[in-house]
Structure 1
Amino acid sequence: MKIALAFFGLPRCSAIAFPSIESNLLAPLRAAGELRIWQHLWRQERIFNPRTGEDQAVPEDNYEPFAGFEGSIVPRPDSPHPLLQRAMVHGDAWQDGFVALGNLVFQLQALYEVTQRVATAQPDVVVFARPDMLYHDPLDPADLQYALQQPDVVMLPGYESWGGCNDRFAIAGARAFKAYGGRILLADNFCERTKRPLHSETFLRYALAFAGIPVRTIALRASRMRMDCRVQAEDFSLAPSPSGRGLG
């Protein structure tokens, strides 16, 4: 099995997050097949996000564990993303002065860039992972096998879907990963057709439905890290048990 692991976005507190990545993602993936690891990470000197209580410098050592992977660690542009200007017309889902929306569009851009690189390798299964998560559970090899046998499927965490689909981690089959990773191309379509602000979880659900991609839930749990190494409290009450996977 040819497996691609794709990191995207911004690393946070890698001193804590990366050991969980090593033990709960990298180790089981290497045991399951031929693994290649890609990334598209934004290099920032500072992060400002009032919603998460972050306003501080981004230490350079956050990037060090990812430096040897294929792909890019590039400066995040100072100017707003062109999509932000168009999306702002449709409202601010987070009501924070469009800060979260600005971060979302750059996250979607990073996801698109790494997906383009992954596609050149024609993998059997693609695992998408944020680098700023504390992963609590090892990836289940049975989920990889399911995605191998059902290449049209995307498998997502079943908790904190916020009216859509959890967008922090995914296992995607060979015919499904481009719909997941390239969804920024549908952002304008989402806003125009739904008349709603661009929102991460509801947009993911829309994009997968638009592409006709079935969704299954997985039992893997992960918590968001903040730049000061706080671990975000998560509600895992809807996380399925390892035997509880089902259609979403």
Structure 2
Amino acid sequence: MKIAVCFFGLSRALATTHESIARNVIEPCRRHGETVTLAHLYHQARVQSVRSGENADLDPEDYRLLDLDAVALRFTVPSQLAGILEDMKPYGDAWDNGFSSLSNLIRQLYSLSASFKMAQLHDPDIVLFCRPDLIYHDSLEPVLETLVQEKGDLVALPDWHHWKGGYNDRFALCRGIRAAQAYAERLHVVHDYVARKQKALHSERLLRFALERANIPTMVFPQRASRVRAGGLLVEEKFWKSKASKLPYLQDALPEIQPT
């Protein structure tokens, strides 16, 4: 079994998150297969965000804490992303903050796609897409144990924060390259999304649209992860569960998750 663990976006606070990533993400993968750890990250010295309240310096070298097999650092924003942002603006601003969050979403989707391209070089059976600015509270071991037994394409997502009829896009485990591609290459379907929906691009709704468009079976699991802001501030997540998605659980008897 070949497993690729892909990190993407902005690392923010790996000094706070890297131990949970090693313990609950990477080590379980290594117990279940030949594992490669990869990252496509924006090399950035400071973050300012009105939405998250962040205004802090970053350590651009903290990715070294993950001891990655390969890392690609992006020092500038790709020029083509400005055109995509302009294409999205006529459909509205889902976050109502001057398109700041929309711009960040497009940048994140680019990084996600780039990390997947790195994974494809290793021909993986299972691909994990993980934000590095999350503390992973629970081991992903039970999820992996199920996925290694699967034969077809499948995307497994957390069972919480399926906002506004969409799917949680914080992190995912994908069985099969077609499933991983549908999850990771969402930037390629943003134009189809707004044309079809005739409404503002929205991150969780986009994920649901992309997986349903590709006809990828999607299931959920209860393992949790919390965001960490620049400077190490832990966001108090509610882990709100929506019945609206009606997604089935990955297996009947995942271990009960205890509150942290």
Shared fold per TM-score greater than 0.5: yes
2: CA distance, partners of 1:107 / 1:53: 18
Gapped regions of structure 1 (runs ≥ 5): none
Query: 8 Å contact 2:160–2:222 — kept in the other structure?
Result: no
2: CA distance, partners of 1:11 / 1:42: 8
Residue aligning to 1:198: 201
Quickly say closer, same or farther: Cα 1:148–1:49, change in 2 above 3 A: farther
Residue aligning to 1:182: 185
Quickly say closer, same or farther: Cα 1:64–1:6, change in 2 above 3 A: same
Cα deviation, residue 71, structure 1:
3.2
Query: 8 Å contact 1:4–1:38 — kept in the other structure?
Result: yes
2: CA distance, partners of 1:155 / 1:81: 31
> Which has the higher mean CA deviation after the structures are superposed, 163-172 or 78-87?
78-87
| 2:108 aligned with 1:107 | yes
2: CA distance, partners of 1:13 / 1:166: 21
1: CA distance, partners of 2:23 / 2:144: 17
Which of 189, 198, 214 aligns to 2:217? It is: 214
2: CA distance, partners of 1:142 / 1:101: 31
Q: How many residues align?
A: 245
Which of 223, 226, 238 aligns to 2:229? It is: 226
Aligned identity (percent) is 36
Q: C-alpha root-mean-square deviation of aligned residues, in Å?
A: 2.1
Q: Secondary structure at the match of 1:81?
A: helix
Deviations 1:60-93 (A, max 9, x none): 3433224643130221328663211111121110
Gapped regions of structure 2 (runs ≥ 5): 243-248, 255-260
Q: TM-score, normalised by structure 2?
A: 0.88
Q: Secondary structure at the match of 2:241?
A: coil
Q: Quick one: which amino acid aligns to residue 33 of structure 1?
A: G
Q: TM-score, normalised by structure 1?
A: 0.92
Query: 8 Å contact 2:29–2:144 — kept in the other structure?
Result: no
Residue aligning to 1:168: 170
2: CA distance, partners of 1:84 / 1:57: 26
